[in-house]
Structure 1
Amino acid sequence: MGILNKIFKTEQKEEKTLPWIPLNTVAQLNYIEEKSKKKTQVIFKHSTRCGISKMVINQFIEAYSLTEKDLDLYYLDLLSYRDVSNEVGYKFQVMHESPQLLVIQNGNVVAHASHGAINTIQLEDYT
């Protein structure tokens, strides 16, 4: 494989990991609401079977530059945890879309977007 890499000059790109907190229970939503009174909470709702969702999350990961000190970043696999996904919409009064990003401060959604618009939200503005 080394020869092919030299011929085609392919480089192994180091995979970037974010400080994701798995969101997989409805009970966590009350915790997120309370915690948002002191620190910005962000929920990324992702569909693991959707090509658009995959593209958007990859762009989001690439552009993400904040740390755990700035905000808490939750990852919701909405296909595995559909009940949690439904409750997110009810609790925070945001119509379900996928993929979707919600920014929560003081118990309320202060910004949200879906699809490609997710990557237009400047999370730095909410830290």
Structure 2
Amino acid sequence: MPPAQPQPLPAPGPAGVQLVIELRGGEGLDDAARIEQAFRDCVAACGARLLHLHTHRFSPQGVTGVAVLAESHITVHTWPEHGYAAFDIFMCGAADPWRAVPVLRRAFATEDVAVTELRRGPA
């Protein structure tokens, strides 16, 4: 019997998936507590692990925030005067950032959500 031939290693997958999420017409875009809860709900839905969460409310309006995850991050910056929020969700490993999209839709009561996906890392 001839010796077994070495099998090629599978091609590496992406290091992670990044979603750029634009939310328009939502409610509560000036509410830091609502945004923090939405971040926590996204982390749970995606199967990620929260390490740190920080938000800052600007005067007269707007919120910026970051959730640092074991799997990467979630960030947001809102312009409530324009009914607009820009989220960035980057996750690696088994965490699935796509599960955050319906969470954000519900959290801010809008169906006007645009998502752009980026596959990060070696392909």
Please say whether Structure 1 and Structure 2 have the same fold, judged by a TM-score greater than 0.5: no
More helix by share: 1
TM-score by length of 2: 0.26
TM-score by length of 1: 0.26
Q: Of the two structures, which has the highest relative contact order with CA contacts closer than 8 Å and spacing of 6 or more?
A: 2
More strand by share: 2
Larger CA Rg, structure 1 vs 2: 2
